[in-house]
Amino acid sequence: MTKGVVFTTIVLIISLLGFYFVLGEVSKLRNDVKNLELALEISNKEGEVIGEATSSEPTGESPELSEKKASVIPTAIIFDTISSPLLEPQTKITVTVESISKTEDGSVNVNIRAFTSEAETYSALQPQNFFELIDLEADGKVMKPLESEGAFSSIPPKSAAAGKVIFKIEPGKNSIILQINYENTIKYYELNFTNKTYKEAVLG
């Protein structure tokens, strides 16, 4: 094989390698352009959705904004009780106090959830019977709930129902005692809405 043939072969190989390299780069560039076009298209669609959602929002105050005006104490209080005799047969119900909040107007909401994991039929619960507030600064004045909210009158078996027990206290009061009565047991919890804390208390 002459030197000329070898040189020509080397040049041809280099040319082919260069061609494939350029072809690969062009392919990558095309993919990048496609990805950019797709990203722009998605961005435009997201912009349209955001615009529609913004225009359809009510002008009134949102629930999130209202919640910010409340002082919320996260809690982890759990107790077991027997369901109401309004629905037979009675069964064990586990009640959790998930949080307690106080709004600027003095409304205190005890937010609860009732679990009927052992029930075989529908059961009922009267949550207002378990909770009271005690004002130690007013000679131990006991306050009953104003009302309760939630679907507690007919809870499906092996299910859960959420709601709240509502009290009313003086708007400027930020410390109160929560009393929980269940199955011949009484528990007291000191609530501090300024620090958003609670702790079990001993009275008497």
The C-alpha atoms of residue 48 and residue 54 are separated, in whole angstroms, by 10
Q: What gap in Å lies between CA 181 and CA 157, rounded to an integer?
A: 24
Take residue 114 and report the two structure tokens written for it.
Answer: 């009732």
Q: Are 90 and 120 in contact (CB under 8 A)?
A: no
The neighbour count for residue 102, using CB atoms within 10 Å, is 23
Q: What is the pLDDT of residues 106-156, one digit of tens each?
A: 999 999 999 999 999 999 999 999 999 999 888 889 999 999 999 999 999
Domain layout of the chain by residue ranges: 1-57, 69-201
Render pLDDT for 92-101 as a digit per residue (tens, 0 to 9). 999 999 999 9
Segment 33-53, tens digit of pLDDT: 444 454 444 344 334 333 333
* Confidence (pLDDT) at 69: 78
Task: Report pLDDT for 5.
Answer: 57
Distance CA 104, CA 171 (A): 6
Per the structure block, which two tokens stand in for 96? 């959790």
DSSP letter assigned to residue 123: B
